[in-house]
Structure 1
Amino acid sequence: MTVPLISAKDLSVQLDGRPILQHISVEIAAGEIVTIVGPNGSGKSTFLRALIGAVPLSKGRVTRAPGLKIGYVPQKLALDASLPMTVQRFLGLPRRVSTAAALQALGNAGVPDLCNRQMTDLSGGQFQRVLLARALLDRPQLLMLDEATQGLDQPGAAAFYQRIEQVRQELGCAIVMVSHDLHVVMAASDRVLCLNGHICCQGSPQMVADAPEYRALFGTGTKGTMALYRHQHSHSHDHGPDHQDHHHEHERAQ
């Protein structure tokens, strides 16, 4: 039996005496991409923070594999616009990293040429790629992203998700991401978790898209859009016809 990278058993969280998450049990296996969707206020970000130990549990437990390395990409990060800082210097906070390590992480994030750019000069998409690179510096076994495409347009979000799939192929890490991009999330996911204070439904992208609980939260109008982005590429991650079709689906949808 394969030991999961991280698992939650009967996880519950209260903030200011108000229940945010209740009775959540889930396991994340090595190499899989799990996407968490749900309406605003459903506890998605809190769930990620509970998994990494950033918020206390009111009930239940989280178990991590020994020595588990986790990379985390926050929803957003505010930097002082008056503070000059290159991308490499940013990647070296709080501990300095070598130029080679910075270049490798930026390459994994798909932006190998940004090393000497000023952080304040980056576009929104470039800034998110740098945050991704920072999370990849230690080559994590588990990468967590909290609505990392917030503020990006649809092509930018789709490109970011394609890069996440490439990161999974290159590093072999599992990925857990919170997303509001219902129209592109299907392409990148092995499993979808629909959250609204508790797990409403979970399973393959198509299974969740067809679930009454999901339709009740997001309406029936999302299914046709999401079907276009159905998870189509092969799990061998070769570059055969399935892989090409997957990218053509993206291009037609733009």
Structure 2
Amino acid sequence: MTLIAAENICVRLGGAEVLHDVSLRVGKAEIVTILGPNGSGKSTLLRALLGIVPLAAGRVTRQDALRIGYVPQRLHIDRSMPMTAGRFLSLPARQTPADTAAALARVGVPEVANRPMTGLSGGQFQRVLLARALLAKPDLLILDEPTQGLDQPGEAAFYRLIEEVRRDTQVGVLMVSHDLHVVMSASDRVICLNGHVCCEGTPLVVSNAPEYRALFGLGTQGALALYQHVHDHDHTHDHGHGHDHAHPHSPAEHPHA
């Protein structure tokens, strides 16, 4: 079931073509990761999918009544504004204390409800943003470099959380990654973007694609490390077959070189 699809879209900003002939789709319970260098059009692509920037060509189609949860790359909150995490979750739509508590517990930070947003760590802040997105019970999560600024353990933990959310809710996930050489192992597909789609496939297929290595290989010989972990639960929703996945634990076991 396709949740959102771009068909041969082009976007012009200030007279310059930022995206050319880009096509992609995200299905239910699918995780799609977009990789690309600075200036490759990653954030512009997300804004085009969200309908924020106009298309010069092509089209974007969405499932009827599609609910989208959005986690921005960064969100600035004035330090002089004493807004707690619980209050933040009630903007703009008011939530009950029970709902906000459940949302914070779901993303693993139940203790921050009464803490000011400006006093949270980077990882806590991103989890609160994710909790806010999940309150809308989205069909599709769109995350714009959600782990930027986190250390490796924080990034790995956030990726594990996204995988758990996908498993439990069957939400589709479209995520832009800031790290060209580290991608979430649970990604069903990776799309390499540089104004156009350079290559696309599973993480392992993309890591061996000459287009990927030519674009992103500097300094790492093209190696694509995977954030992975071990879990032994049944994924009974995966194509109707229950099966176990065994993954190595951490990116430290998968050096970037």
TM-score (norm 2): 0.89
Deviation at 1:221, TM superposition (A): 5.2
With over 3 angstroms needed to count, the CA separation of the structure-2 counterparts of 1:156 and 1:13, relative to structure 1, is same
Whole-angstrom distance in 2 between the partners of 1:133 and 1:49: 21
Q: Give the one of 34, 37, 46 matched to 1:36.
A: 34
1:18-61 residue CA offsets vs partner (Å, 9 max, x unmatched)? 10001111121111000000111000011011111111111111
Tell me if 1:78 matches 2:79: no
1:190 matched residue in structure 2: 188
Cα distance in 2, alignment partners of residues 45 and 253 from structure 1 = 28
Mapping 1:92-111, distance limit 5 Å: 92-111=90-109
In 2, distance between residues paired with 1:9 and 1:231?
Answer: 34
Alpha-carbon contact 1:189-1:231 (below 8 Å) kept: no
Render the CA deviation track for 1:112-155: whole Å, top value 9, x for unaligned: 22111111110111111111111111110100100011111111
Once superposed, what is the RMSD of the aligned Cα atoms? 2.5
Show structure 2 runs of 5+ residues with no match.
237-241
Counterparts of residues 49-68 of structure 1 (less than 5 Å): 49-68=47-66
Bigger mean CA deviation after superposition, 228-237 or 45-54: 228-237
Tell me the equivalent position of 1:8: 6
- Greater helix fraction, Structure 1 or Structure 2: 1
Matched AA of 1:130? V
Tell whether the 8 Å contact from 2:230 to 2:249 is kept in structure 1 after alignment: no
Match of 2:22 among 24, 31, 42: 24
Runs of 4+ residues over 3 Å off in structure 1: 220-225, 227-236, 240-243, 249-254
Cα deviation for residue 237 of structure 1 reads 2.8
Percent identity over the alignment is 60
Deviations 1:195-234 (A, max 9, x none): 0000000011111110111000111654675355479979
Give the direction of change, closer, same or farther, for the CA distance of 1:124–1:231 in structure 2 (3 Å limit): closer
Of the three residues 216, 219, 223, the one matched with 1:218 is 216
Which residue is equivalent to 1:248? 249
Q: Is the 8 A contact 1:12 1:57 kept in 2?
A: yes
What CA distance in whole angstroms lies between the structure 2 residues aligned with 1:235 and 1:29?
23
Structure 1 residue ranges without an equivalent (≥5): none
Name the structure 1 match of 2:86: 88
In structure 2, the CA distance between the partners of 1:235 and 1:64, relative to structure 1 (3 Å rule), is: farther
Which residue of the partner structure matches residue 152 of structure 1?
A: 150
Q: Flag the 1:233–1:184 CA change in 2: closer, same or farther, 3 A.
A: farther
Instruction: Provide the aligned length of Structure 1 versus Structure 2.
Output: 250
How far did 1:63 drift? 0.5
Verify the 8 A CA contact 1:44 1:195 in the aligned structure 2. yes
